[in-house]
Chains A and B, each alone.
Chain A
């Protein structure tokens, strides 16, 4: 009984930690979705690049963790710039609404291949800068990295939201998201805002990667599943609802870990089963806005 409680408690912490990574990536989906109606279906691969490049900086180059984080974020942000240019902008004028799905997937395929070539296909251990020893809270053991993840990831999500609500550029971004023409008419450079949205979104994914890598392994194929699960997190609350996204990420993370305690086989599928139920009841997410088309 006691050990079950301990397991649940540990599952909760692990769940919150991976859930906050989901929330971080989902935040990236939110930003590009509200400004352009698109998102990067290969976001998971950006997480992977953040992890592997961060690993190289931290281990191979021996740089301090903070510097490695900074470098990973910088690289993935720059890649976001490239992504917008190569896979988003050229297809935005297409009437077909699916183009960006496949163009971003195409980029992710290429990235995955590059990663395999650069870092090989095997899983690599990413040593945690906080050490591998478990910290005891009560009778449960937690990795300090997990705590760090929760603080750093959630902190970043809040910081981004603050930026959006309080800063001028953030307000301009929200304006672009709401109504492009009106934003252009008051003098906002819409294109610059869109580029920034993708840079930020990709940087967040890269941050997520280097944060989570010490907990899981770092390898070329690590990105796809978290990318999809973060998408489910974003959908859960409604793609245009920032609070819903945060809650979605945490709920999914915790749900997975809790079900994993019960039965490890259930762990994998529960997210998808859950999101199917949510969407069957509320097709635009639990807290998403309803579409009203003018007839």
Chain B
């Protein structure tokens, strides 16, 4: 696989096709995620960004192509195996267990460690509540009663509970106030600095391109452009389509 800056390739996608019934959401994409990087996927609604993440998580039907995680093909895995392998997804729209408490959401986030490693899960929960103190404050509240920003923090923490090596994030900024988006952005940056590898899908291209080490632009189920975040932000096409000129 192409190796751009000498960093190890963690996830590579080759010729991936995803179809929902008759509708082909991904028509054959090639993509690479390098360890320790933030890799962004941008594009308009319906371009196939979410389908890419869902395919990796094995929540969308793959009709062709291969996905390799740390050298191993994962296209035949079941969704819960993907989590055990070390890949987690922070789903679009948060998708918390709204009727369960913050604490239970975190507990379930650590499902792959349970029931055996209870103390480890407890320690992980402490770590997350230290990362976002508001979660400790609201630990007994139902997840659905939290504000948008708090929900996003909980969603991220829930994802981190499984101690993933690869984190997929689907539109973490959606529906959030600019101030909160700033916080989320710095959280994502901090995670990368801690050594995490992140795939970030965003509709707000500016946010994504500012964060990304490398980025892919999807259009209509295909990769249209790719490059470093900085390079793409300067590309006239990208500016016109997503950044308003």
Contacts and interface: CB of A to CB of B under 8 A. Distances in A.
A and B found bound together: yes
Contact of B109 (A168, A186, A190, A191): A186
Contacts of A190: 79-80
A187 B162 contact: yes
Given A175-B108, A181-B91, A187-B112, 10 more contacts: A172-B108, A178-B98, A179-B97, A181-B59, A181-B95, A182-B91, A184-B79, A186-B83, A186-B111, A186-B162
B97 A188 contact: no
Chain A CB within 10 A, most for which of B79, B107, B109, B115: B79
A182 B96 contact: yes
A174 to B, nearest CB: 7
Contacts of A185: 57, 59, 79, 83, 88-89, 91, 159
B97 A175 contact: yes
| Top-10 shortest CB links A-B | A187-B83, A184-B79, A187-B112, A182-B95, A187-B111, A189-B80, A187-B80, A175-B97, A185-B89, A186-B111
Interface residues of B, number: 29
B59 A184 contact: yes
A190 B59 CA distance: 12
A178 B59 contact: no
B210 to A, nearest CB: 26
A158 B59 CA distance: 34
Given A185-B91, A186-B109, A168 B115 contact: yes
Contacts of B162: 186-187
Given A168-B107, A171-B108, A184-B57, A189 B96 contact: no
Interface residues of A, number: 18
A185 B83 CA distance: 6
26 contacts: A168-B111, A168-B114, A171-B100, A171-B108, A172-B111, A174-B99, A178-B98, A181-B91, A182-B91, A182-B96, A182-B97, A183-B97, A183-B108, A184-B58, A184-B79, A185-B79, A185-B83, A185-B88, A185-B89, A186-B88, A186-B158, A186-B161, A187-B80, A188-B80, A188-B108, A188-B111
A189 B108 CA distance: 12
B120 interface: no
A182 B115 CA distance: 19
Nearest to A178: B97
A94 to B, nearest CB: 12
Interface of A: 168, 171-172, 174-175, 178-179, 181-191
Interface string B162-203: 100000000000000000000000000000000000000000
Nearest to B118: A168
Interface string B107-127: 111011011000000000000
Contacts of A168: 107, 111, 114-115
Contact of B80 (A171, A174, A179, A184): A184
Contacts of A181: 59, 91, 95
B52 to A, nearest CB: 15
Contacts of A179: 95, 97
A178 B84 contact: no
A184 B79 CA distance: 6
B112 A174 contact: no
B26 to A, nearest CB: 18
A185 B100 CA distance: 16
> Which of A172, A175, A191 has the largest number of chain B CB atoms within 10 A?
A175
A174 B105 CA distance: 11
Contacts of A172: 108, 111
A178 B78 CA distance: 20
A295 to B, nearest CB: 15
